[in-house]
Structure 1
Amino acid sequence: MKHYLALLVSISIAPATYARGVEVCPTLPVNAGLEWTYHEGPDFDVCYAAKPGSEANAFGVYLGNHPSFKPKDAVRIGKGRVANKKVIWYQQDPEDSSSAFGQQTLIVLDKKYGYVAHVWVAADTNQELQDRLSVLERITFKP
């Protein structure tokens, strides 16, 4: 009976572990035409947005306390909005992106705990970039 109960508990926990990715990633606008792929790190989460069935990522979001991106070391390229928050966009390092229009930003989500979102977007045309930035303006970070 104990083994049966342990098996039942482990089976019921497995879907909750998988669901964590969906719960951690920001909410995409209904008409975005994108879906998240989730990857869990040792102390961070990464969400990649892509068109269904595509392997090409439109943008990504790192959620954690120790992003590799440091704005002070990057080239500033303009202002914008992500999740209705004002941001400064920086040029993406060519080593990190092969897209013609790559940019990134850092958003402090919880100042007390140093929890941040490193957001990057990749696009091959200016129109593609504008479309993806429009989606990013309307995403919603979860508490």
Structure 2
Amino acid sequence: MNKTALCLPLLLLAASAAHAQDVAGCPQLPAGSDLVWEHRATGDADFCRALRADGSEAFGLYISREATFDPKRANRQEAGAIDGREVHWYRAELATKPNIEARETLLKLDDGRVAHVWLQAAPGAPLQQAFDMASGLRFGADRQVAAGQ
């Protein structure tokens, strides 16, 4: 009985950490990423920002009925994957952050909605780390990716 009582706080802490990643409306964050979702729902759309411990954004996404991003083939930069599905990342310009690389992509979801995913990072290893984190997103059965762009 005493061992159970001693373990209870640890179990509750582990459950709350797992729950921090499980936000209705947002996909599951990559295991071990130490990211948490900031979520806002408006009508039938969901706005999700994956935040680091310091509060900075690792990446974000907007899920809605209509695409909020129109990819231009001339801006296509990298091929990648999210939730095991192929995607193409498109270059975006950030006038106020000339030393930061910005990328965005679209995912069509089984429920008929579209996920617009974006990220911003310094060139090189930080950008690759951002791609790796975004690729670890897992959409639930009701939000399984149907096709990459």
Please give the alpha-carbon distance, in whole angstroms, between the structure 2 residues aligned to 1:28 and 1:64: 19
The equivalent of 1:115 in structure 2 is 113
* Counterpart secondary structure, 1:134: helix
Gaps of 5+ in 1: 1-18
1:129 aligned to 2:127? yes
The equivalent of 1:139 in structure 2 is 137
The equivalent of 1:77 in structure 2 is 77
TM-score, normalised with respect to structure 1: 0.74
Give per-residue Cα distances to partners, 1:49-82, cap 9 Å, x unaligned.
111241x211001111123201147611121111
Gaps of 5+ in 2: 1-19, 143-149
* Counterpart secondary structure, 2:24: helix
Please give the alpha-carbon distance, in whole angstroms, between the structure 1 residues aligned to 2:41 and 2:23: 11
* Counterpart secondary structure, 2:50: strand
- Assess if the C-alpha contact under 8 Å between 2:81 and 2:87 holds in 1: yes
Task: Report the count of equivalent residues.
Answer: 120
> Counterpart amino acid of 1:41?
T
* Counterpart secondary structure, 1:71: coil
The equivalent of 1:64 in structure 2 is 64
Deviation at 1:41, TM superposition (A): 2.1
TM-score, normalised with respect to structure 2: 0.71
Question: Could you tell me the percent identity over the aligned residues?
Answer: 32
| RMSD value, Cα | 2.3
- Assess if the C-alpha contact under 8 Å between 2:60 and 2:117 holds in 1: yes
Please give the alpha-carbon distance, in whole angstroms, between the structure 1 residues aligned to 2:62 and 2:91: 17
The equivalent of 2:103 in structure 1 is 103
Deviation at 1:42, TM superposition (A): 3.0
* Counterpart secondary structure, 2:128: helix
> Counterpart amino acid of 2:127?
L
- Assess if the C-alpha contact under 8 Å between 1:105 and 1:119 holds in 2: yes
Deviation at 1:43, TM superposition (A): 2.9
Please give the alpha-carbon distance, in whole angstroms, between the structure 1 residues aligned to 2:139 and 2:93: 25
> Counterpart amino acid of 1:138?
G
Please give the alpha-carbon distance, in whole angstroms, between the structure 2 residues aligned to 1:90 and 1:53: 27
